[in-house]
A = this chain, B = another copy of it.
Amino acid sequence: MNLDRGKGWLCIVGLGPGDPKWVTPEVTATLEAATDIVGYIPYVARIAPRTGLNLHASDNRVEMDRARAALQMASRGKQVVIVSSGDPGVFAMAAAVFEALEGRPDWQALDIRVLPGITAMLAAAAKAGAPLGHDFCAINLSDNLKPVALIEARVRAAAEADFAMAFYNPRSTRRPHTFGRVLDLLRTICTADRLMTFARAVGTPEENVLTVSLAQATPEMADMRTVVIVGNSATRRVGRFVYTPRSAL
């Protein structure tokens, strides 16, 4: 690591999807070196308090404020860790931090690092078998930051090119209808026996992993704690597992 203990720095780290057994040694060592932890409330709640460690938990949808606050602290000499669930570079805080660097050469000069983590789709796939064993896409179904038309265009392109897909943030109480529309769209392109895995709260006590056919899938099977994996046209079951064959010959 060679993080300088005498100077401010900022590491944006991934804690993995929930189970401590998925936190990398690199992230654990960095958390131990930090003076300040910044992040969304449930992720900061995963950090064990200790003397000298300041925890800064904030609500969802304030990512830019959180990024700037962390950069400000690092610029004042603090050793700061922003915690994300999963991987910080996949629909998480790393991009927000780099957005906050725009126009701020003082912040750009800081020691800033991104430390990878197990992203949710990899943990979900592992629990189900190997549904992402061939080419695949990761698509965020939240329309907070992009139009629904773009979500639908990407799902359509991915399905038509026969990618497997992983959907993040498939459904929230605020926007309950997007995922139903995506299911309807998939039904116009894929056959009814296309396999889908709904992996909810993987790595937590509430974990539930269910594989069904596209014909059986309903919007209610997904919520914000669910990653949905759609197989490609060759994805199949063997025993209790689901996998996508390596060969497309």
Complex interface: chain B residues within 8 A of A102 (CB): 238
Q: Decide if A180 is an interface residue (CB 8 Å cutoff).
A: no
When A140-B134, A246-B145 are in contact, do A101 and B239 touch as well, CB less than 8 Å?
yes
Give complex CA distance A23, B123 in Å.
Answer: 14
In the complex, which of the residues B90, B108, B249 contacts A238, with contact meaning CB atoms closer than 8 Å? B108
Q: Decide if A129 is an interface residue (CB 8 Å cutoff).
A: yes
* Nearest CB in chain B: distance from A50 CB, A: 19
In the complex, which of the residues B24, B94, B160, B244 contacts A118, with contact meaning CB atoms closer than 8 Å? B24
Give complex CA distance A88, B162 in Å.
Answer: 21
Chief secondary structure at chain A's binding surface? mixed
- Which of A40-48, A150-158, A181-189, A217-225 touches B? A150-158
Give complex CA distance A238, B95 in Å.
Answer: 11
When A24-B24, A161-B157, A248-B145 are in contact, do A94 and B29 touch as well, CB less than 8 Å?
no
The answer to whether B247 and A130 touch across the interface, beta carbons within 8 angstroms, is no
Categorize the interface residue count of chain A. 35 or more
Q: Decide if A179 is an interface residue (CB 8 Å cutoff).
A: no
- Which of A31-39, A73-81, A109-117, A170-178 touches B? A109-117
Contact code string A128-143 (vs B, CB < 8 Å = 1, else 0): 0111111111111000
Contact code string A202-215 (vs B, CB < 8 Å = 1, else 0): 00000000000000
In the complex, which of the residues B87, B112, B130 contacts A89, with contact meaning CB atoms closer than 8 Å? B130
Give complex CA distance A158, B164 in Å.
Answer: 13
When A98-B243, A247-B145 are in contact, do A135 and B135 touch as well, CB less than 8 Å?
no
Complex interface: chain B residues within 8 A of A125 (CB): 89, 114, 116
Question: Nearest B residue to A248 by beta-carbon distance?
Answer: B146
When A21-B25, A101-B241, A126-B89 are in contact, do A95 and B161 touch as well, CB less than 8 Å?
no
20 pairs, A vs B, C-beta closer than 8 Å: A21-B26, A22-B25, A22-B26, A24-B24, A87-B122, A90-B133, A91-B246, A98-B241, A99-B246, A114-B126, A114-B130, A115-B126, A146-B247, A146-B248, A146-B249, A147-B249, A154-B162, A157-B158, A157-B163, A158-B163
